[in-house]
Structure 1
């Protein structure tokens, strides 16, 4: 055993010695007028000149890919400029100033400035950073931006496709990648942004509620107010995982493991009416305080909601008249319960008791909504679309398109803080001609038909 061990050590030592001989500098030259920490050298293992520079006690080296000493010296000077530039800007010395990671670092400084100016939200900024760190930088980080082409991006797309991400999420990752390359193009590090592979998006709008379904929601939400519902997980006889929603005070047999208790509140019942009459998003619930709400009573009765900006929109929202009654009812309820005081401008409109944790407040409403969906059997639409709190906003917009007279789509989109394209692709996706049959079959009393600038004839619509 001792002999074998000795042989092993001897062999390893010989290998290390051989490697040292191949990598040891056989010729070395310093660069005139530059620090002595910068030099070029040759080694037995390579026919090319190499450049080395010491940064903060660490040696950074790179091949010049040339056998010409003159070209190697020119390369070393350029290498020195790149490394010192990276040092000044906090970029790793092992990265080129024209690498993807270096461009990303500089671009994020510009994005941070946009955040400070209020041009983008903190959520948008944080989400972008998360995606860069999670997937984009590990793939592209060390690449030179000039080397990133269609095939390279296509390989990244193929990698994303193995992660079971939705088409919209994959598109978002590609969009963030394109953003860095566009920044590199503006800095003239690349002549143009390379072509990107396309990803087919299938829009999946959430379900909405008909009038009868909405009435069922309202009635059951009222019936559940004040109850504590247990959410329990268990396995049925076939070994399938099931969920049980059961009143904590009932004598009904309770299966499996208790996950949570959900207190059903008056706030959910009022929220259902409020959202169907106000166009707001569920995220608005977290931030909406009484100071954001103005009750307007003139020729029209409505609430003016001056909410914090969402998704790049900051215009006030005007509601339907019913939202005014619902708001006032909830306000009086919270006052009677002692959840808010007489001076309540800084209090939140929904679940004000969770003043210091608004994410939890929204989560509580979402959990109550899940219980309500189970109780009503309305969790999915007849077309199989998922119904979440967001479906109440969809219902609001759909009802305006169906029931409103001469609704201007642009005005509707502006008031709902969205775009006309989004109305068409998502909110109005279920809208059919039959839903607006009266409008489609309506006639003006008299009309003139034109051919260019010339009147052809006038017709009395009563005879057509």
Structure 2
């Protein structure tokens, strides 16, 4: 402390913190230490403010009201709630949530939310404070990167904020949730997921097949063949990338399907939706047989033990397929989207596609079916009611006038 002073016979201490502008005051009443700021820079003014503060505390102590003040001062802060959430979340969700997702919430809280809201008592984490956080977050991002954070980035941070406040409510530290909705929000455009049209898909698998047959180096031949088969396998099963990478040979069975009369693959899928089942198209069967012949696997071996991410991106760049016409980046996930779109274009039942892809009809309608032109029935749209003969129309009008 750079300065210290006492008043009222030593009952109240005045002091300044290093670098601080205002005098602080402290006293002991009822066996408890109390501190406050005088909000005064001049010592004489600080003495008057500290004396008034002390006399008010003494009066509250005699009336039995000091306990309420202590309860208010002991209110938990947002930082306390955040630490409690970060302690609970990894333990409670262990085995149910991806470790990367859990770490993402910790990163959002420690890097952004706690520095801005951490010191606030939970009762002061209001809709206004949250809106100030959004504004501060956008302004700092623009100053540093020249552009605001993506809408999805802010959304994930608000999700972490909501989980923290729910933790506070469970422990009785917060009475009600503030309004977390984004004011002035406008309806965002729903863009379809990036996929490969039939022509683009043909261009892609032609390029991967060429790379498999004629690799840049002989030692890369196996990688090229695996990538080619992975592209065909995903586009004919609709599996997610993580589901494909988790797939073992014992999870796949070649069967004769009674409904279609074709030989297909029945796949036991383990992924983000738990265990599910998938039936492939007939085109996936030779791919699977080729994988077995090439790799001579054990039942516990994975179909695709390595992720050919760099080679896939290189081929996309070479063929001009990395981005669709709306600027969306294509990834391995785009092969799943391609499967769904191609099946819809061929007239498959949307409910069956949703079940086979372990998703919902609503998701398919929202992100896939809306832009498939073959989903529109021109015969149903361009219906015309037959018009009655002109003479007959005139007679009807005369009857109405009579």
For residues 285-332 of structure 1, the C-alpha deviation after alignment (integer angstroms, 9 at most, x for no partner) is 33222233333334254333333331x454223322222221121121
1:422 maps onto 2:363 in alignment: yes
The answer (yes or no) to whether the contact 1:293–1:306 under 8 Å persists in 2 is yes
Task: Name 1:107's counterpart in structure 2.
Answer: 85
Task: Name 2:116's counterpart in structure 1.
Answer: 139
How far off its partner does 1:418 sit?
2.4
User: Secondary structure of 2:111's match?
Assistant: helix
Alignment partner of 2:347 out of 398, 401, 404: 404
Alignment partner of 1:68 out of 59, 63, 66: 59
- d(CA) in 2 for partners of 1:441, 1:65: 84
Alignment partner of 1:385 out of 328, 333, 351: 328
- Taking structure 1 as reference, are residues 226 and 158 closer, same or farther at Cα in structure 2, changes over 3 Å only? farther
- d(CA) in 2 for partners of 1:26, 1:268: 71
How far off its partner does 1:180 sit?
2.2
- Taking structure 1 as reference, are residues 306 and 115 closer, same or farther at Cα in structure 2, changes over 3 Å only? farther
- Taking structure 1 as reference, are residues 145 and 412 closer, same or farther at Cα in structure 2, changes over 3 Å only? farther
1:153 maps onto 2:130 in alignment: yes
Provide TM-score, normalisation by structure 2. Answer: 0.72
The answer (yes or no) to whether the contact 2:29–2:58 under 8 Å persists in 1 is no
The answer (yes or no) to whether the contact 1:150–1:195 under 8 Å persists in 2 is yes
Task: Name 1:458's counterpart in structure 2.
Answer: none
- d(CA) in 2 for partners of 1:102, 1:188: 13
- Taking structure 1 as reference, are residues 331 and 76 closer, same or farther at Cα in structure 2, changes over 3 Å only? same
The answer (yes or no) to whether the contact 1:276–1:393 under 8 Å persists in 2 is yes
The answer (yes or no) to whether the contact 2:25–2:50 under 8 Å persists in 1 is no
Task: Name 1:315's counterpart in structure 2.
Answer: 276
Ranges in structure 2 where 5+ consecutive residues have no aligned partner = 7-12, 16-23, 37-45, 142-147, 382-402
How far off its partner does 1:188 sit?
4.6
- d(CA) in 1 for partners of 2:375, 2:26: 86
Task: Name 2:255's counterpart in structure 1.
Answer: 296
Tell me how large the CA RMSD over aligned residues is. 3.6
How far off its partner does 1:18 sit?
4.6
- d(CA) in 2 for partners of 1:115, 1:383: 37
- d(CA) in 2 for partners of 1:416, 1:129: 31
Task: Name 1:192's counterpart in structure 2.
Answer: 176
Would you say how many aligned residue pairs link Structure 1 and Structure 2? 341
- d(CA) in 2 for partners of 1:65, 1:366: 69
1:217 maps onto 2:217 in alignment: no
Ranges in structure 1 where 5+ consecutive residues have no aligned partner = 1-14, 32-37, 51-63, 83-95, 229-246, 250-260, 353-360, 444-464
The answer (yes or no) to whether the contact 2:255–2:266 under 8 Å persists in 1 is yes
- Taking structure 1 as reference, are residues 66 and 378 closer, same or farther at Cα in structure 2, changes over 3 Å only? same
Higher share of residues assigned strand: 1
